[in-house]
Amino acid sequence: MKCALLSNSNIESLSRRVDTRHEMFIGEGYGSWIQELANPTSAMWRFGPAAVVLLLDGTELLHGYEGAKEDTLFAAVDEQITWIERAAELAPAVKFFVSNIDVPPLSVRSMKQVSIERRLEAYWYDRLVALGARVPNMYVMDVKGLIEGRGREQFYSKKRWYLGGMKYSVVAEKTLAKEITRTLDAIAGTGRKKCLLVDLDNTLWGGVIGEDGLEGIQLSETGEGARYRDFQRRIRQLKDLGVILAIVSKNNYTDVQEVFDNHADMVLKKDDFASLKINWSTKPQNIAEVAQDLDIGSDSFVFIDDNPVDREAVRSAMPEVTVPDFPADTTLLPAFLDQIYQDYFFALESTEEDRKRTETYLQNAKRAAERHAAWSVEEFLTALKTKITVRKVMDEDLPRAAQLTQKTNQFNLTTRRYTEQDLQGFRRSADSAVYIASVSDKFGDNGKTFLAILKKAPPDTAEVDTFLMSCRVMGRFIEDQILDHLVRELRQQNVAKLRLHFFPTKKNMPARAMLDRLKGKIVSQEENGNTTWEYDLTQGSPVTQPAYAELMPR
């Protein structure tokens, strides 16, 4: 990813520490950041960044304002924020990450005197937060938090400052580079895991429920048991960011049921988990079953267990599962989960779909149960009362649309991964269109779960660049129905031919089934299996599958 790193101190050394997957641009000169931002023909804009990281040193920001009154300083901050705002508005597809500031005391003062440094830190932060709320592509980077974590003593280096205009110590540069790398990775969105699997005994609570009983396990609001309660609180926060939770535990189900029902200090409830494997099977066996139940690849799993033997069993049987070491000192449990979030589940923002994800999986389990009630598939699909809403993507859909391209593996004809910026490009181009669809049914709302990108190929052909659907809504022939709808629109625009591609991967065979149902012919097939179909739209729609849902264009 192309990233511009701007600062009011020398960040050359820091920029070299950012992972080489990312191409870095750094501004020239310590004070040039405003100019780089404000001038549309600056070297930075010519570089064409997908992300701009603005790392500002509080002390340097005050340079030239020594002895100034608060009003003067606040006015200067307002002006700087305005420059950032303009840049962010001019380049809506570029993500801006702006640091909060740390201002060490600049002068001696009496106890009654107000700390101008504290006031300024707070004012800058308030203005940034307000800006972030107005401008969707601007994010606050909590550099002040990193400095507080290490302490100024360790974070800054006077020697490096006097020698080379570098503010930060080596360890601070490593910390910042890691933060920047993580942020840039999160834009690409590819490495994020989906599901956290947890053990119960000595993991969600202290002790063994089967031996110690409900009264004997450690789990409480205060005292020693609070470490487990704090750990559970953080796991719950992960869930709200869209991480799926599941239990994999060797226990008697009834013992665990009693904890869920009767332990006042359980933060996590049974419904917080999309899958419960509480039995005496091996962990790898249970994990494989969770993967099947939830239809999630086990390479998207992170497994937490205090027992080193179980961890090792999972590592060797399922090397694709991420298995972090468990802290030997359980007072570190909350910090351990913070690290797991940073390393495996870090997210720039969370969508409404993320917050409801577990609910959706639970609803899916209910749908599956209903299907088993000896109905014909047709009866079942009709009874679901599915509603599909299709429309062209709007600005507010872009985060979810990018997430769909990055995370959908099974029903995905071409598995092309796109960033928000890419999608904005397709959306703005006269030669392409991006469609998104939401799906709901009598059990609940599945949210935005379908995406298609169509491109014009002169003179009269439409090319399907991307056609994907979340696995939550697979198996209902929704794809046929949406395609049929798109075909109708294309025919109105006098498009005569439609071309679909299928690029096989390890996971996307489910998408192939749709192509076999359509009326058309293969026009090219490569050795790697990449296949292209063509459909003559002058003869009508290639879709033959009956529809079961109600489709509402908007």
Applying CB under 8 A, which part among 94-102, 165-173, 297-305, 525-533 lies near other proteins? 165-173
Cα of 489 vs its chain's centroid, Å: 32
CB closer to other proteins out of 163 and 335: 163
| Cα torsion angle, 425, 50, 244, 413, sign | positive
Cis, bond preceding 510 (omega within 30 deg of 0): no
Three-state DSSP at 535 gives strand
CB closer to other proteins out of 10 and 249: 10
Binding mask 429-448 for other proteins (x = CB under 8 A): --------------------
CB closer to other proteins out of 174 and 488: 174
User: Helix (H) and strand (E) counts for the chain?
Assistant: 23, 18
Asked if residue 176 binds other proteins (CB under 8 A), the reply is: no
Asked if residue 160 binds other proteins (CB under 8 A), the reply is: yes
- We find the least distance from the C-beta atom of residue 186 to other proteins, in angstroms, to be 25
* # binding residues, other proteins (CB under 8 A): 13
CB closer to other proteins out of 10 and 351: 10
CB closer to other proteins out of 12 and 224: 12
- We find the least distance from the C-beta atom of residue 160 to other proteins, in angstroms, to be 6
* Rounded to 5°, angle at Cα 338 from 197 and 336: 70
- We find the least distance from the C-beta atom of residue 173 to other proteins, in angstroms, to be 9
Distance CA 480, CA 45 (A): 43
Distance CA 492, CA 130 (A): 45
- We find the least distance from the C-beta atom of residue 528 to other proteins, in angstroms, to be 37
Residue 8, H or E segment = none
461: how many CB neighbours lie within 10 A of its CB?
Answer: 17
**How is residue 201 annotated by DSSP?**
B
Residue 479, H or E segment = helix 478-492
Asked if residue 162 binds other proteins (CB under 8 A), the reply is: yes
Binding mask 87-126 for other proteins (x = CB under 8 A): ----------------------------------------
CB closer to other proteins out of 159 and 521: 159
- We find the least distance from the C-beta atom of residue 25 to other proteins, in angstroms, to be 16
- We find the least distance from the C-beta atom of residue 6 to other proteins, in angstroms, to be 17
- We find the least distance from the C-beta atom of residue 178 to other proteins, in angstroms, to be 16
User: Would you give the end-to-end CA distance of the chain in angstroms?
Assistant: 34
Indicate the pairing of strand 244-250 with strand 497-502.
unpaired
Binding mask 1-40 for other proteins (x = CB under 8 A): ---------x-xx--x------------------------
Please name which of 28, 13, 21, 9 lies closest in space to residue 51, comparing C-alpha atoms. Answer: 21
- We find the least distance from the C-beta atom of residue 9 to other proteins, in angstroms, to be 13
Q: List, in order, residues 6 or more apart from 186 with CB less than 8 Å away.
A: 192, 346, 347, 348
- We find the least distance from the C-beta atom of residue 153 to other proteins, in angstroms, to be 14
Interface residues for other proteins in 128-157 (CB under 8 A)? Answer: 157
Interface residues for other proteins in 326-345 (CB under 8 A)? Answer: none
- 52, 26 contact by CB (below 8 A): no
CB closer to other proteins out of 13 and 350: 13
Please name which of 118, 117, 42 lies closest in space to residue 83, comparing C-alpha atoms. Answer: 42
DSSP sequence for 495-508: --EEEEEE---SS-
Asked if residue 163 binds other proteins (CB under 8 A), the reply is: yes
Interface residues for other proteins in 469-498 (CB under 8 A)? Answer: none
Residue of the chain from 128, 166, 187, 248 that contacts other proteins (CB under 8 A): 166
Q: Residue 223 corresponds to which tokens in the numbers above? A: 């005292």
- 347, 192 contact by CB (below 8 A): yes
CB closer to other proteins out of 16 and 442: 16
Residue 171's alpha-carbon distances to 90, 141, 174, 267, in angstroms, are 35, 18, 5, 36
Residue of the chain from 9, 99, 137, 169 that contacts other proteins (CB under 8 A): 169
| Cα torsion angle, 340, 343, 349, 352, sign | negative
- We find the least distance from the C-beta atom of residue 157 to other proteins, in angstroms, to be 7
CB closer to other proteins out of 170 and 523: 170
CB closer to other proteins out of 166 and 196: 166
Residue of the chain from 90, 129, 130, 170 that contacts other proteins (CB under 8 A): 170
Distance CA 333, CA 53 (A): 31
- We find the least distance from the C-beta atom of residue 52 to other proteins, in angstroms, to be 22
* Rounded to 5°, angle at Cα 484 from 411 and 488: 140
Q: Can you give the length of the chain in residues?
A: 554
Residue of the chain from 112, 159, 372, 521 that contacts other proteins (CB under 8 A): 159
In the complex, the residues that contact other proteins under the rule CB under 8 A are 10, 12-13, 16, 157, 159-160, 162-164, 166, 169-170
